[in-house]
Amino acid sequence: HYNLYINVIRKAELAQELGLSQRQIK
């Protein structure tokens, strides 16, 4: 269960970073 929770948080953080980088590039 803990691993799943950590994976979800990591994916959310990565998604935020990708979104910010994409916004900056555009």
Digit-coded pLDDT (tens) for 1-26 = 789 999 999 999 999 988 887 777 66
CA distance 26 to 12: 21
pTM, two decimal places? 0.54
Question: Long-range contacts of range 6-11, CB-CB < 8 Å, 24 or more positions apart?
Answer: none
The C-alpha angle with vertex 2 and arms to 15 and 14, in degrees rounded to 5, equals: 10
What per-residue confidence (pLDDT) applies to 14? 94
